[in-house]
Amino acid sequence: QLQLQESGPGLVKPSETLSLTCTVSGGSISSSSYYWGWIRQPPGKGLEWIGSIYYSGSTYYNPSLKSRVTISVDTSKNQFSLKLSSVTAADTAVYYCARIPEWELLLDYWGQGTLVTVSS
């Protein structure tokens, strides 16, 4: 059974960089059939697609966040990561990682999510 698990600091100071890692188990991140993505959800609000990455390193970023986002992959560790720079309180959210089948660009497996609070 595929599992995804987010990890990283739960508190980040304003203007600093948010860094999260998603560890994939029960399947290979190097599969040519899937992308891997990040989605976030501010408390009490809706979902926002942050971006995605293919095992080869090819990325897509939401234009609304593109200038601040970097997603990378480490196939040796079966992990992919998110960096979001210059954070503000508006970046406070639950961050989810997820798998994206290349034939239907939806989110079929999700991590449990991790709350990141931006505060001094």
Partner 1 sequence: DIQMTQSPSSLSASVGDRVTITCRASQGISNSLAWYQQKPGKAPKLLLYAASRLESGVPSRFSGSGSGTDYTLTISSLQPEDFATYYCQQYYSTPFTFGPGTKVDIK
Interface map 72-101 toward partner 1 (x if CB under 8 A): ------------------------x-----
Using CB under 8 A, which residues numbered 31 to 60 contact partner 1? Answer: 46-49, 60
Residue 107 is a binding residue for partner 1 (CB under 8 A)? yes
Q: Alpha-carbon distance 52 to 39, whole Å?
A: 9
Binding residue for partner 1, selected from 25, 74, 105, 117, defined by CB under 8 A: 105
Binding residue for partner 1, selected from 10, 63, 76, 120, defined by CB under 8 A: 63
CB neighbour class for 36 (10 Å; exposed up to 12, middle 13-18, buried from 19): buried
Binding site for partner 1 (CB under 8 A): 46-49, 60, 62-64, 96, 104-108, 110-113
